[in-house]
Amino acid sequence: HFGTWSGCTGNGNLPVWIQFADQKQEFNKRPTKIGRRSLSRSISQSSTDSYSSAASYTDSSDDETSPRDKQQKNSKGSSDFCVKNIKQAEFGRREIEIAEQEMPALMALRKRAQGEKPLAGAKIVGCTHITAQTAVLMETLGALGAQCRWAACNIYSTLNEVAAALAESGFPVFAWKGESEDDFWWCIDRCVNVEGWQPNMILDDGGDLTHWIYKKYPNMFKKIKGIVEESVTGVHRLYQLSKAGKLCVPAMNVNDSVTKQKFDNLYCCRESILDGLKRTTDMMFGGKQVVVCGYGEVGKGCCAALKAMGSIVYVTEIDPICALQACMDGFRLVKLNEVIRQVDIVITCTGNKNVVTREHLDRMKNSCIVCNMGHSNTEIDVASLRTPELTWERVRSQVDHVIWPDGKRIVLLAEGRLLNLSCSTVPTFVLSITATTQALALIELYNAPEGRYKQDVYLLPKKMDEYVASLHLPTFDAHLTELTDEQAKYLGLNKNGPFKPNYYRCRSRRPQRARGDRVGTAASERGGGDNGIKGFHPV
C-alpha cells in the first residue's frame, strides 16, 4: 500500500512524512454564406459540437486527409494511436522538454518514486487538454508505473506536435486539433474499447469520458477504482450522479482543491485571457469596455488583468458574496442587459448555460468580441446563430465573424469554447501545480484500502494541498518559517501541518458544499444540486 510520501517542506530541512488519506467598424471583405448544419448533439455538448471542420485549421503538417484514414506507425512499429502527423514528434519532444523546466514538482515526483512505483498496475484512461504540460503529467504517471491511454477533452486545444511526440514515445494517444464531433467520440472510444486492456482509473476534464463509459460500457466500472475530475463542469456532473445515487465508484474533486482554485483558476486565467484576446484580435485593451460574466476565481483573474491594462470592466454575478467582492475590488456590478449595447468585449466565466443568449447577441454593438473562459461551450448560445439569415465568415484560425442582414457583425472566438487553451497558451508553472494535484489524487485513490472511500465525491486532504505547494516553493528560493514547539502547542497544530482546518475558506465560494464540510464527506450527505449543465444526466 502506497500510503505515505516523503515530502519537502520547502526550506531544506528533513523530509516530512505525509499521510494522503488523512482558463463600430465595417469590414471590406464580402461575406460568403455557408449552409445550415444539423444542430442535434450526441451524448454531450460540453466540448464537442463544431461548426467547422478540421480542415479549417492549418499548420505546417495539415493536409486534406483525416488522421483516421492515415496508416501511421511510430519508430517502434506501433500503430496504436491516431494523431495528425507522427513526423512532428521531434518538434513536440522539444516542446515537452521546455515544459519540464517549469514543472518542478512532477519532475521531483519522478525521482522520488523511482523505486516505489506507486501506480504499478494502474491502467489510466485520460481525457484532458493535450498540451506539453499534459505530456509531462502523462510521462510522470508512466514513470510511476501506470499504463495510460489518452484522448482530448476539447476539439481545438490539442497541440498536434505534442500528441505526435507522445505517440512516438509509446503512449496510445487519439487526438488532433480540429476534430469533428464524430472524431471526438471516436477518439474517446478508442481509448476505452480496447481488446485485452481495461482501465481501472479515470482522469477526466469536463466529464465527457466518464459519461461515455456510463452510457456505452457501464460494466467497466466494476473494475474501476476511482475517478479524478479537475473541472467545474465535470465536478457538477459527478455531484448530479451522486445525488441520483448513480455514482458507482469513488471520485476525487480536484477542482475544489486550494491548489487548483487559487492558482490555476486565478493566476492562469489572469495571464492567458490577455494572450488569447491579443493573438486572435490584435486589439488594444486600454479604454475598451468589457463585461465579465461571473466573479469566481476565473472571473477575478480576467477582471484583474483587463483592469491593469486600462480597460473599463463591468461584472455580472448571481452570488451576493462574490458580487460584494467585485464591488470592493473596484468593479461596477451590472446586469448584462444594462451594458450589452455599449461594451466592446463580452467574456463568460460561469460554468453555466445560456449566459449570453440570442437576444444579447442581437443587441450587441458592431464588432463586439464574444468569448468564453469557462470549460463548457454552453455559456454562449452559439447554436442560435446557426440560422439562414446570419452569415458566418472565417477570418483567421478560430476567429469567426457572424454577420447580420443589416451588416452588423460580432467577432466570435473559438466558437464559444475555452479561449485560452483553444487560441493561446497558458503558464506552465501554474499547470504544474494542478497536474501534481491530479497525480497525487490518482495515487491516493489507487492505493486506498477497500472501504476507505465509498461511492461518492470526495475532497482532497488539506495536507495534500500543502504538500503540492511546498514542492513548488524552491523555484522561488522561498523559505518557510517553522513553528516552535511552544507556538505549535499554542495554536493546537502539528509543526509539520496541516496549518489550516478543512473548513477554512481559502477561496471565495464553494458552490458544491455546505458549511463546515469535512474532507471525505460524501456528496450525498450534502445534496448535489443540478446546475443545468446540458448533455450529462444521471443514468
Binding residues for NAD(+): 296-301, 317, 420
- DSSP letter at 511 equals T
SS3 call for 290: strand
Binding residues: 131, 205, 230, 260, 264, 296-301, 317, 420
- Nearest C-alpha neighbor of 365 from the set 380, 379, 345: 345
| Cα–chain center distance at 23 | 7
The CA-CA-CA angle for residues 363, 368, 374, to 5°, reads 95
- Nearest C-alpha neighbor of 160 from the set 132, 128, 126, 118: 132
Dihedral sign for Cα atoms in the order 276, 280, 284, 287: negative
Q: Could you check whether the bond before residue 498 is cis, i.e. omega within 30 degrees of 0?
A: yes
Cell of 60: 505546417
Answer for the pair 361, 385: CB distance below 8 angstroms, yes or no.
yes
Sheet holding 312-316, edge to edge: 332-333, 312-316, 289-293, 345-348, 368-372, 409-413, 399-403, 391-396
Measured CA to CA, the distance from residue 419 to residue 534 in angstroms comes to 20
Answer for the pair 232, 155: CB distance below 8 angstroms, yes or no.
no
Map grid coordinates 481488446 to a residue: 195
Binding residues for substrate: 131, 205, 230, 260, 264
Residue 511 Rama label (left phi>0; alpha psi -120 to 50; beta): alpha
- Burial profile 496-527: b = 16 or more Cβ within 10 angstroms, e = fewer: bbbbeeeeeeebbeeebbeeebebbbebbebe
Distances (CA, A) of 449 to 225, 295, 308: 10, 39, 49
- Nearest C-alpha neighbor of 383 from the set 534, 188, 185, 205: 534
The bridge status of strand 409-413 relative to strand 399-403 is: antiparallel
- DSSP letter at 147 equals E
